[in-house]
């Protein structure tokens, strides 16, 4: 049961992050920080320079590793912990600019999902 939960959540988290960063980065959503309409504007809302977009490379890499962990189980803990840390930072950024709670819902969902992956990975052996 836990093993299957870990796999399902790994696909969910991995594909969600890839979707946000590769396919929806230039689209407006109700979850963007402040009044931002794309990722570059959102980073500006948080006071981050453009070079902080390297975060996207890190997140997409961790998402790909998480999906690869379906075949290479030893990668799952590393990738899910990395994503959990990234989501903690994302939640903090939303809170630092006074965003309403709805805007941090996706990051909170990814955080909880990542922590469930960590838990199920550590307890399904």
What pLDDT, on the 0 to 100 scale, is given for residue 89? 95
Tens digits of pLDDT across the chain (125 residues): 778 889 999 999 999 999 999 998 888 888 999 999 998 899 999 998 888 889 999 999 999 999 999 999 999 999 999 999 999 999 999 999 999 999 999 999 999 999 999 999 888 75
Q: Please list, in sequence order, all residues whose beta carbon lies within 8 angstroms of the beta carbon of residue 29, skipping any fewer than 6 positions away.
A: none
Q: How far is CA 119 from CA 21, 76, 97, 106, 112, in A?
A: 26, 11, 31, 20, 10
Q: What are phi and psi of 107, to 5 degrees?
A: -65, -40
Per DSSP, 31 falls in state T
Q: Please calculate the CA angle 92-17-21 and round it to the nearest 5 degrees.
A: 90
How far is 12 from 17, CA to CA, in rounded Å?
A: 9
Rounded distance, CA 6 to CA 69, Å?
10
> Whose CA is closest to 90, among 119, 120, 121, 112?
112
Enumerate the H helices of the chain as residue ranges: 2-18, 39-45, 54-68, 74-96, 105-123
pTM above 0.85, yes or no: yes
């Amino acid at each position: 049961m836990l093993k299957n939960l870990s796999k399902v959540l790994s696909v969910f988290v991995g594909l969600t992050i890839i979707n946000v960063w590769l396919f929806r980065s230039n689209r407006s959503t109700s979850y963007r920080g402040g009044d931002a309409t794309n990722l570059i504007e959102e980073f500006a809302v948080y006071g981050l320079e453009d070079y902080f977009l390297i975060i996207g490379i890190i997140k997409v890499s961790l998402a790909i590793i998480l999906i690869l962990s379906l075949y290479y189980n030893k990668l799952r803990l590393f990738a899910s912990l990395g994503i959990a840390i990234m989501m903690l930072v994302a939640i903090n950024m939303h809170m630092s600019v006074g965003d309403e709670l709805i805007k941090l819902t996706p990051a909170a969902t990814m955080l909880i999902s990542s922590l469930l992956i960590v838990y199920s990975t550590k307890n399904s052996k």
